[in-house]
Amino acid sequence: MQVNHHIAQLPAGYLFAEVARRVREYEAREPALPVIRMGIGDVPGPLAPAVARAFADAALGMGTPEGFRGYGPEGGYPFLIDQILRYDYEARDVRLERDEVFISDGAKTDTAALQELFSRDARIAVTDPVYPVYVDTNAMAGRLGSYDDGRWSNLVTLPCTFDNGFVPVLPRERVDVLYLCYPNNPTGTVLSKVQLKQIVDWAREHEVLIIYDAAYKAFIQNPDIPSTIYEVPGAKEVAIECCSYSKTAGFTGVRCAWTVIPRELKGRLPSGVQVALNPLWRRRLGSKVNGVSFPVQQAAAAVYSPEGTAQVQDCIRQYQENARLLLEAIAGTGLMTAGGVHAPYVWLKTPGGMSGWDFFDYLLETASVVGTPGEGFGNSGAGCFRLTAFSTREHTLEASRRIVHALKKL
């Protein structure tokens, strides 16, 4: 058997494994202070009580003749899709039909799989730094060429840095697909509706497909910032949107998400003839997927109940407050920061031009605090560092205090 050499040639999945290795070694030396983890994007939980109850009731119901469900619709149960249409879209004046929404087990699953819709030679663009899934999955499919000196030969990267205010400069060269993630992981930054409209207009003009990852939209605090790309006129013609309950409602271990593929959205066949992507995706699902379990979809639907909404929003507010506390503490040190307002991530420029990895080691050794080096998210992340608000208030306050103390020692 010949293996897929594109997978064999991938650079090692280095970032979080390396972070874990360094923390393990440090903890083995029995440091005076317990380690506080402000690095990984997992939520501390627990699930909202209304959600957990719906999940449990549906699971117990499966043990009864009335409550049992076998295979569900591969694109998701209408009872969940209708909640999404109403609360995630109609509430923002966006009208979608049931068959434009596909329930799945994760935004990672979908952002990874959507590239199956692209031709083998589609040219891919990503922002840099970037959530690595978009790059890795296209690399595995053989679209990105060779990886030399930390760069893919056939990938277009759009730097998003402190210097350009984290707004990607659109490429002059031809691209077929652009992946966007807003609110952004890892920088925590957002785009205004005007900025997003410029990208949508460019995509329409040049027939570029946008994959819009809105996994963190629940953190947006300002109604003027688009919570869905479809708030931008014309976006339905060019954009697929991926959303998730992971960060909204603590579903990282439960697994539920959705993807929108509007009927208007089209690509071209080799003949030049236009073809709608929505039926192609449904066709693909029919062959590859048997849907998300009934109890999980019941749990997701409970996020929209009055009780569930209040509990989930309360939890988001706690993370938002954690991010504010982090930002407030770091602001006093003079370090440059981004994000942390409409996203659970605070992005900072390391002091004195340190690399992200050197700053990682320094914070670990001096403060027993773990963050994530920006280098792990792409070349434009060099010299930057990510802290997350997915923690308790106590840990956030303690980590902030320790970070400020460590910075003073430099």
Binding residues for ligand PLP, rule: CB under 6 A, are 41, 106-108, 111, 131, 181, 185, 213, 215, 244, 246, 252, 257
> Shortest distance, CB of residue 269 to ligand PLP, whole angstroms?
29
> Shortest distance, CB of residue 15 to ligand PLP, whole angstroms?
12
> Shortest distance, CB of residue 133 to ligand PLP, whole angstroms?
7
User: Nearer Cβ to ligand PLP, position 326 or 407?
Assistant: 326
CA-CA distance, 339 to 344, in Å (whole number)? 8
User: Nearer Cβ to ligand PLP, position 109 or 368?
Assistant: 109
CA-CA distance, 163 to 294, in Å (whole number)? 47
CA-CA distance, 96 to 113, in Å (whole number)? 22
User: Nearer Cβ to ligand PLP, position 252 or 333?
Assistant: 252
> Shortest distance, CB of residue 105 to ligand PLP, whole angstroms?
8
User: Nearer Cβ to ligand PLP, position 241 or 398?
Assistant: 241
The token pair at 112 is 């990874």
> Shortest distance, CB of residue 242 to ligand PLP, whole angstroms?
7
**Cβ–Cβ under 8 Å, residues 178 and 199:** yes
Q: Which residue is nearest to ligand PLP (CB)?
A: 106
User: Nearer Cβ to ligand PLP, position 181 or 296?
Assistant: 181
> Shortest distance, CB of residue 246 to ligand PLP, whole angstroms?
3
Concatenate the DSSP letters of all residues of 97-131 into one string.
-GGGEEEES-HHHHHHHGGGGS-TT--EEEEES--
User: Nearer Cβ to ligand PLP, position 155 or 211?
Assistant: 211
> CB within 8 A of 313, min separation 6: which ones?
none
Tell me the CA distances in angstroms from 126 to 115, 151, 158, 276, one per residue in order. 13, 13, 6, 23
> Shortest distance, CB of residue 255 to ligand PLP, whole angstroms?
7
User: Nearer Cβ to ligand PLP, position 357 or 377?
Assistant: 377
Give which of 192, 258, 200 is closest to 226, Cα–Cα.
192
Give which of 38, 22, 31, 16 is closest to 370, Cα–Cα.
38
What are the beta bridge partners of residue 159? 128
